Amino acid sequence: MRGRFLSVSLGATSSPKDALVDVVATRETASQLKELALLGFGVIAVVGAGGLGLQYLAMAKRYTKENRALDEVGIEASRINASMLINSFHLPRSFLVNQEPLQTLNQLKSYISRLHETRDPREHHIFKERGFVAITGGLEPGLTSDSSAAKVATELDCPLIIVSTMGGIFESDPLATVAKGRESPKLLSRIGRDYLKAVILKRAEKKGDEQESEGNETPHVLDVPTCRILLDVERERRATFRAAVTNYKAIAETALILTSRKTPAVRPKRPHFTLISLL
């Protein structure tokens, strides 16, 4: 394979909060992943439960409060969304994509190893000259799609791209801010370890308290498991670890920038992604 690995969290891209299928976003996401595979990347795409999962969880909570059981419901919903994304690849097999969602990190590693060791002449040629797409749903209870993708990135030592419906990390919650008639909040071009630590601290302080004070909307931030995984990256790897939060339309462009294959000729006034620095 000519390229390198990429870990991409797709979150609720295919199934927004209304639980309807976003056909346009799903097709565009598949197109972006295909583009990267044809450039020689091995793309691991983790699909979230999204709005579909929220609907199932709302029903499941009527019958159980057990966290692990609820996690399993969310994981199953994410695999339905992952299957939908897999089925959107109705194009000539010029690269490799799995035919059903991979279910665990070990299964993902086995899939990649099989591609490395394949004796199928056609698969070997494609894998050697191009890349592949490996699509998963949730990988284990207690992890979100973001934290699952972060875990994959740290295991494979590869860049991490988190796809957000907001398109990045903001100073405050964009939806809440605009709804109150205020000016749209600033998109942060870069965040660091202090930001990740602040997310964990704020969530710890708010635990058990669902009421927020006026004017202190929660920023659109990463979840706590993802922050913990990123903060645990070994010191010697922090300088080279690459991660960003972007929107589904900019997956390929963000990947090329993170892997130093592309440098924006003109720095945009409003960046289309937020870089995550572990230094």
Average pLDDT of the residues in 107-131: 80
Confidence of residue 93 (pLDDT cuts 50, 70, 90): low
Lowest mean pLDDT among 8-22, 123-137, 212-226: 212-226
Could you tell me if 16 and 165 are in contact, meaning their C-beta atoms sit under 8 angstroms apart?
yes
Could you tell me if 167 and 272 are in contact, meaning their C-beta atoms sit under 8 angstroms apart?
yes
What's the confidence (pLDDT) of residue 31? 92
CA distances in angstroms from 161 to 59, 120, 135, listed in the order given: 31, 31, 14
Each domain of the chain, given as residue ranges in start order, spans 5-276
What's the confidence (pLDDT) of residue 115? 82
Distance CA 275, CA 264 (A): 14
What's the confidence (pLDDT) of residue 202? 82
End-to-end alpha-carbon separation of the chain, Å? 30
CA 140 to the chain's CA centroid: 15
Confidence of residue 21 (pLDDT cuts 50, 70, 90): confident
- Helix 23-38 vs helix 251-258: crossing angle, to nearest 10: 30
The CATH H-level superfamily of 5-276 is Acetylglutamate kinase-like (3.40.1160.10)
Q: 98 versus 90: which is more confidently predicted?
A: 98
What's the confidence (pLDDT) of residue 91? 57
Confidence of residue 231 (pLDDT cuts 50, 70, 90): very high
